[in-house]
Chains A and B, each alone.
Chain A
Amino acid sequence: MTLNHDDWGKVARMMSKRSLWMVHFCTGCGAMEMPPVMTSRYDMERFGMHAMATPRQADVFLVTGYLAVKTLKRVVQVYEQMRDPKYVIGFGSCTINGGMYWDSYNTIKDLSKYIPVDVYIAGCMPRPEAIIDSFLKLMDMIDKGEAIGWKKYHKYYDQYKKNQRMAYAYRLDEVEDIKEDDAK
């Protein structure tokens, strides 16, 4: 029996879905829900997931809550440091539509305008069961080859970058004069 390229992709996806490492980057209130998920009560290590300190060794990025524009710069930088394939989980209603910060002048409202999001978890805050459920959903999507956010980021890079610059500048126009290295 010989395996062609597609079959090897299937094998790779099957392997990688059981060893997802998560960037340990917490923003907003969602960070409070992570300790029970990570520790013995809900124990996400059952699924082969654990927290990793550096983005370059991680596969999953949990954006745990609201993002100020200043934080968005750091999130984008962390996301771009991660190696492909990489997956983003938007956590709580703040990443979906702003949540309770819907009219705040300094928080972004929809995360998927700035970086591609594979799975959203609704709720304010989502319970650990919901988080575990989203992990299983993500694993399922990886297995089927549906979690392609990172491919979208390559393909529509210009659109994502343009949106990011608009937010950084707090303006819809004249976005060309914003320096790339603002977040450093």
Chain B
Amino acid sequence: MAYRRSLWKLMLDEFKRLEQELRNIEEDFYMKIKGLESMRGCITPLYNIYESGDELIITADLPGTSRDEIDLTVSEDYLKIEAPCRSPARRMREGRYLLHIRLPVEIEPESVKARYKEGVLEINAKKKIKGFKIKVE
């Protein structure tokens, strides 16, 4: 019984240690983002990458800019977004969005389409499909 209890305590301690470690990694991630933003004077926007069938969809939240000012560069496995950011908020100086993303799959750069609506940039790209077409019998 005492052995079981000590084993249970060991497991709980290990869970707590792992939880704390995850929290530290998370906090380190936030610190790096904020540190980089302060050093470079740029803003890392919130972004998401989704894979949908033969498409790769990337969205980024870029409030305070305009469609014409967004500088978007793509290659087969890489994407860069740059745009000015104007904020009327107090204590927030005019900055610049900067986002570099290594894409999870290769894309056809010439297929890329982008739109900007209500502060959100959406980029759609066709995935580069390599391989042979096989006839199903």
A binds B: no
Residues of A within 8 A of B (CB): none
Residues of B within 8 A of A (CB): none
